[in-house]
């Protein structure tokens, strides 16, 4: 039974529609005009519970393009699992069948999440598939941000109760080889880097874009994490398209390149975990 009359609302920020409470409402829908037919409905779910299901989650930028991403995705997930991430929100626009196999294996579910998750996790990371946040003080990422009001500053722990976002310096890791199209063997490759600013996002944010916070809730602000505490390893594929021709000359002006390897103590764990997952996914098809 439809509850009438329909209520006018607004969309702000992007993709967010304000909906007032209404007694007796168990499902809701949105239409552009008051007389439009109802096409789909979603259940009304309470969003005010402060008992978070997860402490640290990852929101992956939407995937697009039909190039194979199976190795990049597996490494992405296993790296952040080692860093304490408990849950992943994956948005897919385009996806090849080969990559789909590993996503379904890792998620262990073929269900599509139709609802946006609000207050589902205490801290949320927004990152691209080619970014790896890496703490440098023998801490996991979960340990580094377990208390949003506590951050490192000059080798001391200081309270920052107004901290609503943590932004990390980026190292550009230049990839000189193409990603494999099928799972046969994994190769480790040395890299070079240069630094620029990027991001990490926690609670207390009203509007988040892909690479920066647009609007904070009142009293909250961002914090720039020193490069001595943590960095983002951002893979740049110089063999792809015209990247090397368009961007490499400018990158060279920032200073000399350096050899920069993934931490050895984490590499063995990462390699073992990735191999276990990919063996289970693709070995039956070989």
Report the length, in residues, of the chain: 286
Cis peptide before 5 (omega within 30 of 0): yes
Strand-strand pairing, 156-159 and 163-175: unpaired
Residue partners of 241: CB distance under 8 A and separation at least 6: none
Tens-digit pLDDT profile for residues 6-21: 888 888 766 678 787 8
Tens-digit pLDDT profile for residues 63-107: 888 888 999 999 999 999 999 999 888 888 888 899 989 888 877
The arithmetic mean of pLDDT across residues 139-160, rounded, is 61
Residue partners of 48: CB distance under 8 A and separation at least 6: 119
| Residue 61: both structure tokens together | 């930028």
Q: Residue 132 — pLDDT band, cuts 50, 70, 90?
A: very high
| Residue 203: both structure tokens together | 């609670």
pLDDT value for 63: 83
Q: What is the pTM of this model?
A: 0.73
The arithmetic mean of pLDDT across residues 33-48, rounded, is 81
How many C-beta atoms surround the C-beta of residue 131 within 10 A? 23
pLDDT value for 138: 82
Tens-digit pLDDT profile for residues 253-274: 888 888 888 999 999 999 999 9
Residue 267 backbone dihedrals phi, psi, to 5 degrees: -60, -45
The arithmetic mean of pLDDT across residues 104-114, rounded, is 61
pLDDT value for 76: 94
| Residue 286: both structure tokens together | 């070989």
Tens-digit pLDDT profile for residues 206-253: 777 767 788 888 888 887 888 888 899 998 888 777 888 888 888 888
Q: Is 141 helix (H, G, I), strand (E, B) or coil?
A: helix
Residue partners of 62: CB distance under 8 A and separation at least 6: 91, 92, 93
Distance CA(102)–CA(113), nearest Å, equals 18
């Amino acid at each position: 039974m439809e509850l009438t009359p329909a209520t006018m609302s607004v969309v702000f920020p992007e993709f967010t529609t304000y909906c007032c409470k209404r007694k007796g409402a168990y499902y809701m829908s949105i239409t552009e005009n008051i007389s439009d037919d109802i096409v789909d409905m979603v259940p009304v779910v309470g969003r005010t519970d402060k008992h978070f299901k997860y402490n640290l989650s990852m929101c992956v930028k939407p995937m697009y393009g039909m190039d194979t991403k199976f190795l990049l995705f597996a490494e992405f997930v296993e790296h952040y699992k080692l860093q304490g991430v408990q849950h992943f929100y994956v948005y897919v626009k385009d996806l090849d069948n080969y990559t789909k196999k590993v996503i379904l294996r890792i998620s262990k579910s073929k269900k599509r999440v139709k609802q946006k998750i609000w207050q589902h996790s205490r801290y949320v990371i927004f990152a691209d598939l080619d970014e790896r946040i890496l703490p440098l003080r023998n801490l996991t990422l979960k340990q580094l941000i377990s208390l949003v009001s506590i951050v490192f500053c000059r080798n001391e722990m200081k309270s920052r109760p107004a901290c609503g976002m943590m932004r990390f310096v980026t190292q550009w890791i230049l990839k000189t080889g193409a990603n494999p199209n099928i799972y046969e063997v994994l190769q480790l490759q040395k890299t070079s880097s240069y630094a620029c600013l990027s991001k990490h996002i926690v609670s207390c944010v009203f509007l988040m874009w892909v690479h920066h916070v647009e609007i904070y809730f009142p009293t909250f602000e961002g914090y720039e994490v020193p490069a001595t505490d943590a960095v983002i390893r951002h893979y740049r594929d110089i063999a792809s398209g015209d990247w090397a021709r368009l961007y490499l000359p400018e990158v060279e002006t920032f200073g000399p390149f350096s050899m920069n390897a993934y931490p050895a103590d984490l590499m063995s764990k990462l390699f073992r975990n990735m191999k276990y997952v990919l063996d289970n996914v693709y070995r039956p098809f070989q």
